Structure 1
Amino acid sequence: MKIVSSHKQPFLLIKYILLLILCFAPILLQAQDPVFIQLSEKNKLPDNEFYNILEDRKGFIWLCANKGLYRYDGKTFKNYGNPLQRGASVFNTQEDNLGRIWCNNISGQFFYILNDKLHLFTDLSKYLNGELADFVITNDFLWVFTVRAIYKIDLKTKQILERHSTTKNFGTPFSSNNSIYVGAFDSIISINEDNNITSLIETKLPHKGKKGNAISLGKAIIFKTNSTYIYSQIRNKKNCFYKLNFSQKKLEPLKGLESLEKIKLYTIFEQNNETWITTNQGVWVFTFKNAAFQLKKRFLTDKHITKIIKDKDDNYWLASLNNGVCIIPNIHIETCNIPLKEENIKTLDKINDTTLVTGSNHGNVIFYNTNSHTSTTINLPANEGKLSKLKYNPNQQKIYISKGFRSYVLDYRNLALEKTRFFDGVKSFSLLAHNDLLYTNHDKVILLKNANYHGKGKFISTNKRTYDSFYDEKRHEVYVAFVDELAVYDSLWNKQVILNKEKPIYGKSITQTTNGIVWVATFKNGLLGIKDGKVIHHYTTENGLTSNIVEKIKADQNKLWIVNGNSIQEFDILTDKFKTLTKREGIKSYNISGIETVGNKSYFSSDKGLFSVDRNNAFKTLHPEVYFSAVEINEKDTLVTSNYTLKYNQNAIKISFNVNGFLFNQKGTYKYRLKGYNDTWLTTAIGENSIKYNSLAAGEYTFQVQPFLNSTNTTYEIKELYFLIKKPFWKTLWFILLIASLILGGTILYFKKAMQKKEKERIAQLEKISLEKELIAINLTALRSQMNPHFIFNALNSIQDLVLQQNTDASYDYIVLFAKLIRNTLSYANRDFIPIEKELEFLNVYLQLEKLRFGDDFTYTITYDAHEELEVPSLLVQPFIENALVHGLLHKEGEKELDITFHLSENTLQCLITDNGIGRKKSKEINLRQGNRHESFALNAIKKRLEIFQKQYAVKIGFVIEDIYKNSSPNGTRVIVTMPYRKRF
């Protein structure tokens, strides 16, 4: 039915406006804006005011900012400063042929980066006087350009070699083809590769206006587009542009840049036969054909854009004076011009090769012209909720609209709008054969024969929620994704349930590729390919998808657009390869409501508007090159090198690595392994770019790392670090051999010493036995000496005299003492030591017998003043006493005295034998007269015995004989015998 009369006039007005716009679309030409990413404090952007930007040969991004010089490696911004630097702001970043980054400041200081530090090259403050100079670095020289002079400075000596002055202002230098071009208001000069300054063209531009007034001039700039050099000069506060005709040495006016006359220009960037000019009103993009410029598009019109570069990954970086840094991650993904209030788009369909139709959450219909990049809104009755689904029927040229519980049909030919009782809460539309229309909603599947929305519909299914439907034109089958199953209906509406491994399929979106395979996006089971009612393909994260939760799919011949919760992928079913786009690469949203292809672009409707993707160019090929950014050993930074030789306790190693660039660290990961520790390749998480190993054992290790992208099968270069951790010295071969040698030598020495000890013990034992035998022999000799015949004969004679005298008692006593003496002598002769009391008793018996012989004139005393219980050598003292009696007292007249005293010292026992005899001299004379030349009694045996004791006890042992004189006359003899002793316990 027709719309009610109260709404006729507004809709007629809308119709005429829409038809007018569609007819004059080329006149209203606009451009789709590229998708931008604004770097901010969230990205740790250090400043908002930037003057210049540069990408070096290693892929680092250098930024000149109000707060200083910064380097961006894809993850962090690093600031560089110098202690001598006056002011933080720096300008004019450049890279020389050695890879050094140069900049300068308004104070006339020029700096360069070397070994990751900012060095002051020269200070020209006295020449520049506060002017911010431009400069160019060549192989050998620093060229500095001021308004009035050009300075040539030697890079090695830092000396100013040449100064070229003018009274006519120099402009901004431009480097091209190994030459430097500089424009002044009256001429163009060049500095060639031989460093010679040459005048090329005289500008011959008037210096005064028509009224004779002086023309105010600004700084001239030169740039190049294609092979044409352009000269621009500010004349009377207007930007004027000229072509440089070097062959005819003249300037030729240019057309097409008149829109830039009143705008401040910053830099020019040439890209794909386009000239991008940065200004205080954003970026202007021109093409240059037939010696004239044509405006192609503008963007960021509210920003002061100071510089544009394109990095190695085809990202466009735009530095601004007031809005930080913007990045165009993909120039081939563009935002369509949709009114802001209509940007939340709920549905999309294609009218023809130039027109798309969308429905917004605001409840209106929007037409979008893909040629003119313009949109037109058809406002539907308000307060009826969002527009949830629409479908264009080319046979009737009508658009079916589902808007909450209101439904409309919009005639595209005249924009007439009708209400209908069908299409409430529609989930999907499908155009069938014979112009039949099938739609599904939250609980029904309804068929309208010949798309008759005035008649009666046929219920195919009821009381079951649906998500999507699709019509297979070749097999005349209808697929419906129900809440609990996937069903296919034939032309007679017979139903078949399709299973995957005997399990239900929970479908969400359905489409079909040219080869006849029907594809189903599932809620959590990836992507299924179906043919003849059977699943023949199944794709998940294991074989290419970025997520198993697939939101929407749309076929484009034999390719599929796949929308996941974390990416949009293009899948080539013939090559079985996936390509991936993410927000980091310019995708505005993953909440996609519709996909349509027009020409070489695919359009995506989303909650953040409509955007297009150039299918042929949008997928960039990254060439990530990993490098080692830092190495820590035992938590201390060390110089990054390829080989490390470490001590055994330098075994905690942290390795940091990175790929420079804006994209890789947001989507890429790293494969790594430490050969010698674990040869298995491991993968980092996204954003993780360091690995730490603790307590590595001694040995050789090779750390390998490789960039990895899930979206490609490309294998990238592997970088390596070699580590040698030495063994502790106690585990080294030389130390082990040394210890083994010491142990072996020690063992040999030990056994040698033991054998020597045993040998010594054996020799000592033999010596002991020999000494004992010798001592026994000496004792026997001493015994024989003590029992010599002379003494025995005298003793027996004395006994005989007593018997003859019939002195029975005396003879008896004498015989008893003699027997006791003989018995003790024989008893003690076999013993080395006897108790001292036994020795004293023996000496007393002996002296009693001698007293019988010597008579009453003979007296003796025996004294032992100690109370120690000792053992002394047996029969040692008696020979000395006998010697004193025989040689000292026997020939003395009168009283004969003998004193025997034992004295105990620390280690020895001394016996002093003192007599008052005739002395040794007179005794010797008597012996000579009597013919007795033998040494007295057993002194030789005593000497030998004492020598043996000396060896055994290692103490000073022996005897000394002293003569006693009285008034210079002999008065006796004293013998001091030093002997060993043993304590008795």
Structure 2
Amino acid sequence: MLLLFSQFTFGQNPYYYSIDRTNGLPSNSVYDIFQDSKGFMWFATGKGLCRYDGSVFKTFTSDIQTSKSGSCINEDSFGRIWYINFDGYLYYVENGELKNLPQKESVGYIKFGIIEDKLFLIQTKSVAVYDLKTLQLVYTYHLKDEYIRATYTSNSKFYFVGEHIYEIDYPNKIKTYPLTEDFRKTLEVPIIQELNNEFFVVSKFSNYYYTYKENQLSKKKFNSSFDFIQNLAIIDNAPWLCTPNGIIKYENEKATTYFSDFNVSYIFKDKQQNYWISTVNSGLLFIQDFKNNFIPLSPKPTVFSSYDNQLLIGTENDLIFGLQLNDLSVNTVYKNNSNHPINQIIGNEKEKNIYFTSSKFKILNNQNIVSNEKSFAVKDIKKIDDTYYSFAASGICGLFKVSDKKSKWDSLHNKNLNAPSNFNESALIKSNGKSTAFNPENNCIYYATNMGLKFVNSNGVNEIKFQNKTLYVTNLQSYKNTVYALSTSEELYKIDSKNTVTKVSIFEKHLKERFTKFKIQENSIFIFTTNGIIEYNLIKNNYRKILPLTSDLEVTDVAIVKDQIYFATSKGIIVKNKFKNKEFTKPELIINEIKVNGILYKENNLSELEYNQNDITVNFSVLSFIPNEKKSVLYKINDGNWNRLDADNKNLILSSLSPGDYNLFLKIDANYETKIKQIDFKINKPFWLNTFFLIYMSLIIIALLYTFYKYQIQKIEKKNQLLLDKVNLEKNLNQSKLKAIKSQMNPHFFYNALNTIQSYILSNDKKQAVSYLSKFSTLTRTILEMSEKENITLSEEIKTLGLYLDIEKARFDEDFSYEINIAYGIDIENIKIPSMLLQPYVENAVKHGLLHKKGEKKLTIDFERIFDSLKITIDDNGIGRQKSAELNAIKNKDHLSFATEAMQNRIALLNQYKQKNIAINFDDKFNKNEQSLGTKVIIEIPITY
């Protein structure tokens, strides 16, 4: 009696889904509920403010909080979510972070108000007005009232209650309205809401309430009593009182109590018409529709059957309940202590019998007493006519007779009758049966067996195959002239009246969830999936998720009786109206934030991204309050293919994108058309890939190429010029050599030499003549040999100079002498110098310096080494270069000495080939009286070997 009374007491509660810490809720203590403009649900919990999209909770906390518990959630015109903790401090969520309002003080918890872009906050003897754009205090209303007990915010005005009722219509002055003494005493802690254009005011500690309109207070009393009111909500144009013992709804002066076992803090109805109830210690209750009844039932129901204006309910513990359809009361029909689940049940209203299977197959009579039973496991029973039922059992499939009326199945039944039998059954197929169905169109009885799908008619037993393969079936259901079959591979087939099998492809196309069970009721197929019950209408060819499932909610059977849909669940019986059953709102894709290289960006600022701002992260939410349903998101870029993201992944990361224009598309992966979100952004090319830069660089490259071309041309020209200069140089060198040779072998020199030889011969000085002639011939031969060489050794040069000076000495009297000095360490055999380089300078010293000098004539040639250079000094004590030039000018006005022309040209030509030049310096020597003492020629030649 207590069990039945308890079940009936809770029968008025709607079915709810529990959301608590096991689902991710940060705390089971919830104090306030709010839905923002995007559709997210917000909850003020014992662990702080959190946001919920239907599957994921995101909690916002900060170290700056004095405490986390609070209430009064609100949203401003800038999209920020506000709430106040129970210490009286305000916080708001902006760009994913919890921040605090820089308020001066706190007077404890009292609701604040938001009107347009202004925030109203109660302070000590004042009301502070903040500008929500700047979050700065812009005005202060000063009060004489020290104790403000409650506030209320309308669309344009802020109200608060102390010793009076105060009204602020910012920026106007405060208006004050009087309160009665009875109001102040009765409603010590008032809670204010607005109902039917008037204030509805209750107190936490009183059964009285007031209505206030146009300065008129009206006192009324609730027709039920309670100890404490925690909150007040106006929903569906009715007041709902939230108490520690559930919710009390007042409508037409009638009070209805729901969820009396819960300590309720608030109730909220969202934009999708769902109801949310927050509790102090049990988390949240989610109710899709208050019209859906829930009947807790224990033991767990397993199977339904309509019978005699009630719904028979088989349970898991060999117990049968009867649910009365008129008042949803529950009574016990049959009870046994075998503890076996009831797997099938069917009521025969004409015979007033109930057929069911638990440990045995049993028949209950009209007194609910077992009138017959048989020890075999019947898996399924279907009605054939008023006389026969088909059954599928372990080891046997056939018919059993329930009345003496004549039937066209009598002959088949009598032919296969098991005798003797008190059950009056016939064995048509001897194999393990799993399910059975009957098609009145072709008078065929179908049996799903372990040997395949069989059918029986007047012609006997036959097998039905699909594509010439045996079809193994677990469940058979008939609808009009068609039989539906669910295979062991979880695929649905239909068999028409001609026993043709076709696969039902619509479920594969639209229902991506696998299912292991289905049931046909009236014109609908109910499909049992892991995430919910899907109803497919066979007339309209549409489908809907009629009951979402959670991890703790299992559905075993469904039935439609008198426009009501009944669900047998692990928690009890859920009852929904067939025609007024509200569908869940379809999920919605919400773009939360877009980050570029980890920095938050607004969508309208994505048109001009730099080339290195190419890491894009899109954070989104799938807003859906369908319990236990997760939706994947598809995305594509430009005209590419759709790609699927994991259902738990709420971030789309695009890394290292190339420059260009991008159109990013996102949509929910669903069996129906969903809204596509589009995000457009552009990543600019780097400046070196811009058109103008490319043109500029092309011009520079062309200029560089042209410059390089010109350089190469000049280089070639220079090379050619060098070759030409080399040829000219060699020509000039040869000419210089030739001139040197000519200088050595000029007719005057030969004439002088021959005269000298002749004088020796005439003087009969044969020895001197022969010696002189030998030296002359050797010098001539040496000069000719040296003319073929570019460089000669220093020893060869010294030898040639000695020959030349010996020949020249014969021309002079005994007053001419010369010395050739070689310093220590000079390798005369290996050091090389240009051929015939010194001889012209020596000749100049003899011809122009010493020849015209009176007295002793002396020539000194010194060779010494200074680092990597050979220093050669040719020193004479002749008349000097100035006197010599004067004499030459008198003799020949056009005379130009060899040294000043041919020799200088040759030195210049030689220096073009050497890294270190040949240096020649002339030193004119004078005494104190400025008389010439001779000339010194200093030649420095780089040492080469």
Deviation for aligned residue 1:54: 1.0
Are 1:872 and 2:872 matched, yes or no? no
Letter of the 1:139 counterpart: E
Letter of the 1:577 counterpart: N
**Distance in 2 (alpha carbons) for counterparts of 1:922 and 1:226:** 140
Deviation for aligned residue 1:684: 2.5
Q: Please, which of 329, 342, 365 is the counterpart of residue 320 of structure 2?
A: 365
Aligned 1:522-601 pairs, distance under 5 A: 522-532=487-497, 533-536=499-502, 538-539=504-505, 541-556=507-522, 558-584=523-549, 589-592=553-556, 594-601=557-564
**Distance in 1 (alpha carbons) for counterparts of 2:918 and 2:657:** 68
TM-align CA RMSD: 4.2
The C-alpha deviation readout for 1:217-270, integer Å capped at 9, x for no partner, is 543445566678655457xx64025666x599563756xx423x1242233444
Q: Please, which of 257, 274, 298 is the counterpart of residue 315 of structure 1?
A: 274
SS in 2 for 1:854: coil
Are 1:903 and 2:867 matched, yes or no? no
Deviation for aligned residue 1:57: 1.2
**Distance in 2 (alpha carbons) for counterparts of 1:380 and 1:680:** 60
Aligned 1:598-637 pairs, distance under 5 A: 598-631=561-594, 636-637=598-599
Letter of the 1:672 counterpart: Y
Q: Please, which of 129, 137, 141 is the counterpart of residue 114 of structure 2?
A: 137
Deviation for aligned residue 1:346: 2.9
**Distance in 1 (alpha carbons) for counterparts of 2:215 and 2:693:** 86
Letter of the 2:583 counterpart: K
Deviation for aligned residue 1:179: 6.0
Q: Please, which of 595, 600, 603 is the counterpart of residue 638 of structure 1?
A: 600
Q: Residue 9 of structure 1 corresponds to which residue in structure 2?
A: none
Deviation for aligned residue 1:812: 2.5
Number of matched pairs: 919
SS in 1 for 2:476: strand
Q: Please, which of 377, 385, 394 is the counterpart of residue 433 of structure 1?
A: 385
Deviation for aligned residue 1:755: 2.9
SS in 1 for 2:717: helix
Q: Residue 210 of structure 1 corresponds to which residue in structure 2?
A: none
Are 1:483 and 2:445 matched, yes or no? no
Deviation for aligned residue 1:658: 0.9
Deviation for aligned residue 1:367: 1.0
Q: Is the alpha carbon distance of 1:824 and 1:440 closer, same or farther for their aligned partners in structure 2, counting shifts above 3 Å?
A: closer
Q: Is the alpha carbon distance of 1:502 and 1:591 closer, same or farther for their aligned partners in structure 2, counting shifts above 3 Å?
A: farther
The C-alpha deviation readout for 1:424-460, integer Å capped at 9, x for no partner, is 4222222232433333322223433343699562414
TM norm structure 2: 0.85
Letter of the 1:639 counterpart: Y
Q: Higher mean Cα deviation, 81-90 or 300-309?
A: 81-90
SS in 1 for 2:803: helix
SS in 2 for 1:395: coil
**Distance in 2 (alpha carbons) for counterparts of 1:924 and 1:652:** 91
Q: Residue 10 of structure 1 corresponds to which residue in structure 2?
A: none
Are 1:36 and 2:38 matched, yes or no? no
Are 1:265 and 2:224 matched, yes or no? no
Q: Is the alpha carbon distance of 1:241 and 1:599 closer, same or farther for their aligned partners in structure 2, counting shifts above 3 Å?
A: farther
Deviation for aligned residue 1:849: 2.5
Deviation for aligned residue 1:373: 1.9
Q: Is the alpha carbon distance of 1:180 and 1:504 closer, same or farther for their aligned partners in structure 2, counting shifts above 3 Å?
A: farther
Letter of the 2:266 counterpart: K
**Distance in 1 (alpha carbons) for counterparts of 2:77 and 2:112:** 15
Q: Residue 8 of structure 1 corresponds to which residue in structure 2?
A: none
Are 1:824 and 2:807 matched, yes or no? no
Q: Is the alpha carbon distance of 1:666 and 1:640 closer, same or farther for their aligned partners in structure 2, counting shifts above 3 Å?
A: farther
Unaligned runs of 5+ in 2: 405-419
Q: Residue 680 of structure 1 corresponds to which residue in structure 2?
A: 641
Q: Residue 4 of structure 1 corresponds to which residue in structure 2?
A: none
Deviation for aligned residue 1:617: 4.0
Deviation for aligned residue 1:775: 4.3
The C-alpha deviation readout for 1:875-913, integer Å capped at 9, x for no partner, is 444444444444554465665433333334456544433
**1:366–1:375 contact (8 Å) kept in structure 2:** yes
Deviation for aligned residue 1:603: 0.9
**Distance in 2 (alpha carbons) for counterparts of 1:144 and 1:780:** 117
Are 1:983 and 2:944 matched, yes or no? yes
Q: Is the alpha carbon distance of 1:747 and 1:794 closer, same or farther for their aligned partners in structure 2, counting shifts above 3 Å?
A: same
**Distance in 1 (alpha carbons) for counterparts of 2:139 and 2:895:** 121
Unaligned runs of 5+ in 1: 1-13, 208-214
Q: Is the alpha carbon distance of 1:83 and 1:968 closer, same or farther for their aligned partners in structure 2, counting shifts above 3 Å?
A: same
Deviation for aligned residue 1:701: 3.1
Aligned 1:274-673 pairs, distance under 5 A: 275-288=239-252, 292-295=253-256, 298-331=257-290, 333-338=292-297, 340=298, 342=299, 344-352=300-308, 354-383=309-338, 385-405=340-360, 407-411=362-366, 415-422=367-374, 424-451=376-403, 457-490=424-457, 492=458, 494-514=460-480, 516-532=481-497, 533-536=499-502, 538-539=504-505, 541-556=507-522, 558-584=523-549, 589-592=553-556, 594-631=557-594, 636-642=598-604, 643=606, 651-663=614-626, 666-673=629-636
**Distance in 2 (alpha carbons) for counterparts of 1:336 and 1:969:** 145
SS in 1 for 2:273: coil
Q: Please, which of 754, 766, 789 is the counterpart of residue 808 of structure 1?
A: 766
Deviation for aligned residue 1:577: 1.8
**1:305–1:320 contact (8 Å) kept in structure 2:** yes
Q: Is the alpha carbon distance of 1:926 and 1:356 closer, same or farther for their aligned partners in structure 2, counting shifts above 3 Å?
A: closer
**Distance in 2 (alpha carbons) for counterparts of 1:400 and 1:262:** 49
Q: Is the alpha carbon distance of 1:42 and 1:645 closer, same or farther for their aligned partners in structure 2, counting shifts above 3 Å?
A: farther
SS in 2 for 1:714: coil
Letter of the 2:587 counterpart: P
**Distance in 1 (alpha carbons) for counterparts of 2:607 and 2:362:** 75
**Distance in 1 (alpha carbons) for counterparts of 2:644 and 2:111:** 47
Q: Is the alpha carbon distance of 1:423 and 1:534 closer, same or farther for their aligned partners in structure 2, counting shifts above 3 Å?
A: farther
Deviation for aligned residue 1:375: 0.4
**Distance in 2 (alpha carbons) for counterparts of 1:229 and 1:979:** 121
**Distance in 2 (alpha carbons) for counterparts of 1:285 and 1:306:** 14
**Distance in 1 (alpha carbons) for counterparts of 2:655 and 2:311:** 60
Q: Is the alpha carbon distance of 1:850 and 1:956 closer, same or farther for their aligned partners in structure 2, counting shifts above 3 Å?
A: closer
**Distance in 2 (alpha carbons) for counterparts of 1:505 and 1:925:** 140
SS in 1 for 2:511: coil
Letter of the 1:153 counterpart: V
Letter of the 1:561 counterpart: F
Letter of the 2:683 counterpart: L
Q: Residue 153 of structure 1 corresponds to which residue in structure 2?
A: 129
The C-alpha deviation readout for 1:336-389, integer Å capped at 9, x for no partner, is 243x2x3x223311124x421112222222111233221011343434744443
Q: Please, which of 695, 704, 707 is the counterpart of residue 668 of structure 2?
A: 707
**Distance in 1 (alpha carbons) for counterparts of 2:861 and 2:668:** 111
Deviation for aligned residue 1:284: 2.7
**2:840–2:899 contact (8 Å) kept in structure 1:** yes
**2:127–2:142 contact (8 Å) kept in structure 1:** yes
Q: Residue 917 of structure 2 corresponds to which residue in structure 1?
A: 955
Letter of the 1:287 counterpart: E
Percent identity between the two aligned chains: 23
Deviation for aligned residue 1:692: 2.9
TM norm structure 1: 0.82
**Distance in 2 (alpha carbons) for counterparts of 1:924 and 1:518:** 142
**Distance in 2 (alpha carbons) for counterparts of 1:959 and 1:971:** 17
